[in-house]
Chain A
Amino acid sequence: MGKLIGYIKQYIAFVKKEFNGYSKNVKIAIYVMLFFTAGFFVFGIQILFWGLGYTDMSNFYPFGQWIIGDLGLVGLGGGAFTTGFLLYIFRNDKLEPLISSTVLIGFLCYLFTFVFLVFDIGQPIRAFFIYMYPNWGPGLMPASMLTEVAWCLTFYFLILCVELTPVVLKHKVLDAIPVLKYIGHYLHRLMWIFAAGGTFLSFFHQGSLGGGMWDVMYGKASWFRAHHIYFFVVIILATAGGTAFMTLCAYVAGKVMKKEVVPKETFNSIAKVSGVMFVVYFAARLADVILMGTSWVPLFDRSYLSNLGGYYGLWMIVLEFIFIAGAIVLLLVKKFREDEKTFRLGIISGVMVMLTTKLHVVLNGSSVPNFPWKDFIGYNPTIQEWFIMLGGLSIMALIYMWFVKYTPLFPHVEQHGHHEGEAKAAE
């Protein structure tokens, strides 16, 4: 017992020493994140034990902030499968220095999608029903898009766990154990199989959670699209916005560490991919908006423009297109891509496209009135919703920081002889 207390004391002293090594800004950021994390647990318990009455969702507005979080995280996490696919299947070796970071971000995004879902469903204790009583319908085609989402997310999450294993095994303590070292090495060599499987699964759940889930609602003028058009639009967005997010995370990590975490050519290569995909997304989204206005919404004897009223209407679509244009110009034009400031703006624009489109889908879609005599509905998330959302994101950031510091997440830093971690660099 005395030995255990000794170890704990030793560990606390170690954490204190590490923490004191950080710069003032990093310390403030950690304090803020720990504050949100504490709120996440407090309000999380309240929601799980006392119910969703504490949210601003209602019978007229059943989807809120956590669903936006789910859509956004899965969409942004989509950069993991795109990068994996480009590296292991297309053999774009320039992306190698970024892959561990993308796998980790993908893993965190998917993990927290599940976490937010647990809070979002009214009966989390019955969550396993989705595996036990799935609504498959005849044949292999699932009847419910959510059934498909849950199954695909689960399988892809398992793949991400396997993909992440070699990264975890490179931790200096685990790396010293020969068996684990070999397992990590051979898993790494098999990674193309997982990348291919992950891409296959990702195509389905990206499309079904981001798009298919919404476009099948044939009773709702704000969401319905015939022929699953939105399903495909969203897959393109995941490849474009996801890669931009992966780049942004690595870029921010580099800025905090004050080091070159990945070579410039890696950023260049992935930014080009993102830019090209944004061109495709621009065409797809434009077609989607035009079809909504001319074909799908008129089926309900309503006008698309009238659906774009309320607090989250037309301006969000305009904003989305501005961000798309920004991402395309800043990521595709060589001059802008190679200039750090404009490159940074470009990847931020890419991530913002994802954010605005998800916000628009959920907020505007839910707020559109179902009866002509009703008005648009507003949604004002409660403190519980904010803390769980921001707390979840903070935990993700903290885990990412841990990996950056204690595992060789960016092998490029190691190869170039920078062994000191974030702490020393931040001094």
Chain B
Amino acid sequence: MAIDLDKCTGCGACAIACAQENNMPIFEDDSDIPKRVSFLELMKVTNDRDAKYPDVEVCYIPKMCQQCEGNDPKNPKPPCVSVCPVVATDVGDDGIVSQVWSRCIGCRYCQASCPYEARAFNWWKPRYEGDFKNSLNPEVSIASRGTVVKCQFCSHIWKRERDRAVENGVLDINAVTYTPACVASCPTKAFVFGDLNDPDSELCRLLEKEKDRKFRLVHTIDEKDEKTREKLMHIKNFPNPKVYYLTSKAWIREMMRFK
């Protein structure tokens, strides 16, 4: 996935579409952000908190699970998968880091190990008041209290599209395409979704074209030359996320580095 931050207006449609598509519960106090359950968080970043107009710059970064794969894409090792004591989370052949709510025991080890704070825990019992019950998506299971949930790139839509393709006689799995809810809802087309393994996909072409604008969240190893990168990757795994961000603003890229 690629997200063009220069196009993002911070409208939050992606977060709402995600919540609706994935049956996000609504709690009595949803302003309690640290305990809120959401797959997609819209992070507000400013160049300087004390700056005033016109020097202040603001950027909204839509952040969901970055679908990390570790150093070796052929043998993916996201930081959250190997730590799970009950195999409730795994990486599929499609490269999506999945989570089985009904297997999760709620130890939150995956949450602690995630460098992107992408996982949410159901601190309270998920509730769907009144008419909300009628709008629940039957393709996404409802999580119990005390389990960890996360963005799975709306993989249920992919499964639906795959089944539909099979019904129509298309058996080539790579021919199946789909659009996650956040991507479909973006009014400025800031999101581009596709197959990173397919060099002809729109996503790959975009990332190739926008080499100078692309970066990944707090992933400073990308800025190093290939030799240093290889050396570092011998010492430890790096998350190597599959979500890219695009921007031409230098200060946003600057914000990705710890001082």
- Nearest-neighbour CB distance to chain A for B177, whole angstroms, equals 30
Query: Does A224 touch B at the CB level, under 8 Å?
Result: yes
Quick check: B82 and A144 within 8 Å, CB to CB?
yes
Asked, given contacts A122-B121, A301-B220, whether A146 binds B83 with beta carbons under 8 Å apart, the answer is yes
* Distance in angstroms between the alpha carbons of A58 and B36 in the assembled complex: 9
A: number of interface residues (CB 8 Å) = 51
- Chain B positions 130-171 with a Cβ under 8 Å from a chain A Cβ: 144-148
Interface digits, B79-111 against A, CB 8 Å rule (1 contact, 0 not)? Answer: 100111111000000000000000111111101
- Residue of A55, A60, A122, A299 with highest tally of chain B CB at under 10 A: A122
Chain A contacts for B144, CB-based, 8 A:
123
Quick check: A122 and B86 within 8 Å, CB to CB?
no
* B235 touches which of A146, A299, A372 (Cβ 8 Å): A299
* Distance in angstroms between the alpha carbons of A60 and B239 in the assembled complex: 18
* Distance in angstroms between the alpha carbons of A146 and B107 in the assembled complex: 9
B: number of interface residues (CB 8 Å) = 55
Quick check: B258 and A301 within 8 Å, CB to CB?
yes
Interface digits, A43-80 against B, CB 8 Å rule (1 contact, 0 not)? Answer: 00000001111010111111100000000000000000
Chain B contacts for A90, CB-based, 8 A:
none
Quick check: A122 and B145 within 8 Å, CB to CB?
yes
Query: Does A143 touch B at the CB level, under 8 Å?
Result: yes
- Residue of A226, A302, A372 with highest tally of chain B CB at under 10 A: A372
Chain A contacts for B79, CB-based, 8 A:
217-220
Query: Does A366 touch B at the CB level, under 8 Å?
Result: yes
Please name the residue on chain B nearest to A224 by beta carbon.
Answer: B236
* Distance in angstroms between the alpha carbons of A144 and B84 in the assembled complex: 6
B contacts with A: majority SS = loop
* Distance in angstroms between the alpha carbons of A220 and B112 in the assembled complex: 8
Asked, given contacts A59-B117, A217-B112, A226-B236, whether A123 binds B146 with beta carbons under 8 Å apart, the answer is yes
Asked, given contacts A59-B35, A62-B112, A135-B85, whether A370 binds B117 with beta carbons under 8 Å apart, the answer is yes
Chain A contacts for B119, CB-based, 8 A:
59
Interface digits, B246-259 against A, CB 8 Å rule (1 contact, 0 not)? Answer: 00000000011111
Among the listed stretches A124-132, A229-237, A266-274, A310-318, which one makes contact with chain B, having 4 or more residues with CB under 8 Å of it? A124-132
Quick check: A372 and B257 within 8 Å, CB to CB?
yes
* Distance in angstroms between the alpha carbons of A289 and B180 in the assembled complex: 44
Quick check: B116 and A144 within 8 Å, CB to CB?
no
- Chain A positions 101-146 with a Cβ under 8 Å from a chain B Cβ: 120-123, 126-127, 129-130, 132-135, 137, 143-146
Quick check: B107 and A121 within 8 Å, CB to CB?
yes
Chain A contacts for B35, CB-based, 8 A:
53, 58-59
Asked, given contacts A219-B113, A370-B218, whether A121 binds B105 with beta carbons under 8 Å apart, the answer is yes
A contacts with B: majority SS = loop
Quick check: B87 and A133 within 8 Å, CB to CB?
yes
Asked, given contacts A59-B121, A122-B122, whether A143 binds B82 with beta carbons under 8 Å apart, the answer is yes
Chain A contacts for B257, CB-based, 8 A:
301, 372
- Nearest-neighbour CB distance to chain A for B234, whole angstroms, equals 10
Quick check: B105 and A122 within 8 Å, CB to CB?
yes
Please name the residue on chain B nearest to A306 by beta carbon.
Answer: B258
Quick check: B218 and A372 within 8 Å, CB to CB?
yes
Query: Does B43 touch A at the CB level, under 8 Å?
Result: yes
Please name the residue on chain A nearest to B116 by beta carbon.
Answer: A370
Query: Does A150 touch B at the CB level, under 8 Å?
Result: yes
- Residue of B68, B115, B221, B255 with highest tally of chain A CB at under 10 A: B115
Query: Does B56 touch A at the CB level, under 8 Å?
Result: no
Query: Does A216 touch B at the CB level, under 8 Å?
Result: yes
Query: Does B174 touch A at the CB level, under 8 Å?
Result: no
Chain B contacts for A299, CB-based, 8 A:
232, 235-236
* Distance in angstroms between the alpha carbons of A133 and B122 in the assembled complex: 22
* Distance in angstroms between the alpha carbons of A300 and B221 in the assembled complex: 8
Quick check: B113 and A217 within 8 Å, CB to CB?
yes
Please name the residue on chain B nearest to A55 by beta carbon.
Answer: B123
- Nearest-neighbour CB distance to chain B for A200, whole angstroms, equals 21
Quick check: A59 and B86 within 8 Å, CB to CB?
no
A-B contact pairs, 13 of them (CB 8 A): A52-B123, A59-B117, A62-B112, A122-B104, A122-B106, A123-B104, A123-B106, A126-B105, A217-B79, A299-B236, A370-B116, A372-B257, A372-B258
Given contacts A62-B111, A126-B106, A371-B117, 13 further A-B contacts (CB under 8 A): A51-B122, A59-B111, A59-B119, A122-B122, A129-B86, A133-B86, A144-B82, A216-B83, A216-B113, A217-B79, A220-B112, A366-B112, A373-B46
